[in-house]
């Protein structure tokens, strides 16, 4: 069994409630942190090598150390719980079953950053979770972990839960900040980064739910010990939400030192491909990351075993690699149509584009239309090159990463599965038959 740091107590009945959480070691990390100086807590986070778990993998300790500290200006911590990346549902699990783990992480993080107000911005579709969080916040407050003069330290903290209204773009940190301020969720141009000018123009750290929950085990075992979990620059454990054509979909905590093959085929995790089918491809980090065909998924282009780490998953760049992303692990079996899959994602990004920049606003719609034609057997060969051109014109030319996220899946699908696109063009009447077998792999 792999070692666990976040879900090690998830099996305990009623761990969602304060008394049970506390009786099982809950808030001991916070107790420890509150006796340290914020600088020492920050040192532990830096030593841990923790990287942001929302998708970008930015070093957390570094982000925290960037926060500006002008005199008399409040600082804010924002917990990004707007988990909307298709295939990603790990933060939902943490918030639903271990709300106090998150609150404890928020307390330690706010103390370290010198923030007295913290906001949890949660996606609108997670309609039942705010009540769970509000109850946990009330219980934490009743027991002296929130409010004024926490545990007699003189430190004050309030946590507020803000519901989003179901827009994917509000998961982008600056759009989230705009939305928190009561405005339309349009991304801002960066820099300035939120650490300098964020919520109400004040220094703000925005971190993902899992990142903030991981602060608790880091304080419990120490940053150095945490860094011994995993490998290389992928320290600690990572939650993976696995879905698609596998036997055991669900949320798994992995130590980042196992192979992709072990994750897909072992009984401890996905339990293999469903219905005795064969693996065709995988999107390992949520819909925004490039799709990888089976032959490049288990081994890198250099023939090395591909590991569930930030480095190994991206090995080979976009030509043969992909990204850890948000850990939304989508597995496709031999019967799945790549063109249809790509169209589904393109439709999503078109729908979710905020419309501020023309390459994204126009390009996502254009890609959707061309893909729809190809998928329906109404496409031309030149449409494949047209698609390639459109995605290239979007990538790197937009205000926020949604543009790139829309372009990459299209680019990777054409790069690795061009023959499937051609098949749709050449076989218009059979275009709705989506069993391509394993001809490609």
What's the DSSP call for residue 245? Answer: S
Interface positions, 36-55, toward ligand NAI (CB under 6 A): 52, 54-55
The window from 228-236, 258-266, 292-300, 395-403 that contacts ligand SF4 (CB under 6 A) reads 395-403
Site string for ligand SF4, 163-202 (x = CB under 6 A): ------x-----------------x---------------
Report how far residue 120's alpha carbon sits from residue 78's, in angstroms, rounded to the nearest whole number.
6
The window from 104-112, 331-339, 355-363, 376-384 that contacts ligand SF4 (CB under 6 A) reads 355-363
The window from 127-135, 166-174, 342-350, 385-393 that contacts ligand NAI (CB under 6 A) reads 166-174
Residue length of the chain:
441
Does residue 287 bind ligand SF4 (CB under 6 A)? no
| Complex with ligand NAI: residue 252 or 423, whichever CB lies closer | 252
List all residues 6 or more positions away from 314 whose beta carbon is below 8 Å from its beta carbon: 321, 322, 323, 324
CB-CB contact of 108 with 41 (8 Å): yes
- Report the nearest approach of ligand SF4 to the CB of residue 407 (Å): 10
The entry of ligand NAI, ligand SF4, none near residue 245 (CB within 5 to 8 angstroms by kind) is: none
The entry of ligand SF4, ligand NAI, none near residue 325 (CB within 5 to 8 angstroms by kind) is: ligand NAI
CA torsion angle for 15, 20, 25, 31 (degrees, to 10)?
110
Torsion sign across C-alpha atoms 210, 145, 206, 39 = negative
Does residue 361 bind ligand SF4 (CB under 6 A)? yes
Interface positions, 268-287, toward ligand NAI (CB under 6 A): 285-286
Strand, coil or helix: 205: strand
Interface residue with ligand SF4 among 74, 144, 232, 355 (CB under 6 A) is 355
Report how far residue 242's alpha carbon sits from residue 248's, in angstroms, rounded to the nearest whole number.
8
List phi, psi (to 5°) of 369: -65, -45
With b for 16 or more beta-carbon neighbours within 10 A and e for fewer, the 172-182 pattern comes to bbbbbbbbbee
Q: Report how many residues bind ligand SF4 under the rule CB under 6 A.
A: 14
The window from 13-21, 399-407, 408-416, 427-435 that contacts ligand SF4 (CB under 6 A) reads 399-407
Site string for ligand SF4, 126-165 (x = CB under 6 A): ----------------------------------------
| Complex with ligand NAI: residue 29 or 398, whichever CB lies closer | 398
Closest CA to 307 of 256, 272, 271: 256
Closest CA to 34 of 101, 102, 104: 104
Alpha helices in 35-171 (DSSP H): 38-48, 60-65, 90-97, 99-113, 129-142
- Report the nearest approach of ligand NAI to the CB of residue 68 (Å): 10
Does residue 195 bind ligand NAI (CB under 6 A)? yes
Interface positions, 333-352, toward ligand NAI (CB under 6 A): none
Closest CA to 329 of 281, 296, 384, 379: 281
Report how far residue 421's alpha carbon sits from residue 337's, in angstroms, rounded to the nearest whole number.
10
What's the DSSP call for residue 386? Answer: H
- Report the nearest approach of ligand SF4 to the CB of residue 355 (Å): 5
Does residue 396 bind ligand NAI (CB under 6 A)? no
For residue 163, what is the enclosing H or E element? strand 158-163
* Sheet with strand 250-255: strands edge to edge: 250-255, 237-244, 328-333, 279-283, 292-293
Closest CA to 73 of 225, 201, 205: 201
| Complex with ligand SF4: residue 151 or 186, whichever CB lies closer | 186
| Complex with ligand SF4: residue 387 or 402, whichever CB lies closer | 402
Query: E strands along 47-151, which residues?
Result: 76-81, 117-122
The entry of ligand NAI, ligand SF4, none near residue 173 (CB within 5 to 8 angstroms by kind) is: ligand NAI
The entry of ligand SF4, ligand NAI, none near residue 169 (CB within 5 to 8 angstroms by kind) is: ligand SF4
C-alpha triplet 77, 81, 85: angle, nearest 5°: 135
Does residue 290 bind ligand NAI (CB under 6 A)? no
Interface residue with ligand SF4 among 249, 403, 409, 417 (CB under 6 A) is 403
Q: Which residues sit at the interface with ligand SF4, rule CB under 6 A? A: 169, 187, 353-357, 360-361, 398-400, 402-403
Q: Which residues here bind ligand NAI, judged by CB under 6 A?
A: 52, 54-56, 58, 63, 66, 83-85, 88, 171-173, 193-195, 206, 285-286, 288, 325-326, 401
């Amino acid at each position: 069994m792999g070692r666990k740091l976040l879900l090690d107590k998830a099996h305990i009945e009623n761990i969602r409630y304060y008394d049970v959480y506390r009786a099982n070691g809950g808030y001991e990390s916070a107790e420890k942190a509150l006796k340290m100086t914020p600088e020492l807590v920050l040192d532990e986070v830096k030593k841990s090598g923790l990287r942001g778990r929302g998708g970008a993998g930015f070093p957390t300790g570094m982000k925290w150390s960037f926060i500006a500290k002008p005199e008399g200006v409040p600082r804010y911590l924002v917990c990004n719980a707007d988990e909307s990346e298709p295939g990603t549902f790990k933060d939902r699990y943490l918030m639903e079953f271990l709300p106090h783990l998150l609150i404890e992480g928020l307390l330690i993080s706010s103390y370290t950053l010198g923030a007295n107000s913290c906001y949890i911005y949660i996606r609108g579709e997670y309609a039942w979770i705010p009540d769970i969080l509000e109850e946990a916040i009330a219980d934490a407050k009743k027991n002296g972990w929130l409010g004024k003069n926490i545990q007699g330290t003189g430190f004050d903290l309030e946590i507020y839960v803000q519901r989003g209204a179901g827009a994917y773009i509000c998961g982008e940190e600056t759009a989230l900040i705009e939305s928190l301020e009561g405005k339309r969720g349009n991304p801002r141009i960066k820099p300035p980064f939120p650490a300098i000018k964020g919520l109400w123009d004040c220094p703000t750290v925005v971190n993902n739910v899992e990142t903030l929950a991981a602060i608790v085990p880091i304080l419990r075992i120490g940053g150095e010990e945490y860094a011994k979990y995993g490998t290389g620059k992928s320290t600690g454990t990572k939650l993976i939400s696995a879905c698609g054509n596998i036997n055991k979909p669900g949320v798994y905590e992995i130590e980042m030192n196992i192979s992709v093959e072990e994750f897909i085929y072992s009984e401890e995790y996905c339990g293999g491909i469903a219905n005795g089918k064969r693996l065709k491809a995988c999107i390992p980090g949520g819909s925004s990351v490039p799709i990888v065909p089976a032959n490049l998924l288990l081994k890198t282009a250099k023939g090395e075993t591909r590991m569930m780490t930030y480095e190994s998953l991206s090995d080979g760049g976009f030509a043969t690699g992909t990204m850890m992303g948000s850990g939304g692990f989508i597995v496709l079996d031999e019967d799945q149509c790549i063109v249809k899959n790509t169209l589904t994602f393109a439709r999503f990004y078109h729908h979710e584009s905020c419309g501020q920049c023309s390459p994204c606003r126009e390009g996502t719609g254009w890609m959707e239309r061309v893909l729809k034609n190809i998928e329906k057997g109404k496409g031309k060969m030149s449409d494949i090159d047209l698609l390639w051109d459109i995605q290239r014109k979007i990538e790197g030319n937009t205000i926020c990463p949604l543009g790139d996220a829309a372009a990459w899946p299209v680019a990777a699908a054409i790069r690795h599965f061009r023959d499937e696109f051609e098949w749709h063009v050449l076989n218009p009447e059979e275009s709705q038959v989506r069993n391509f077998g394993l001809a490609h792999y």
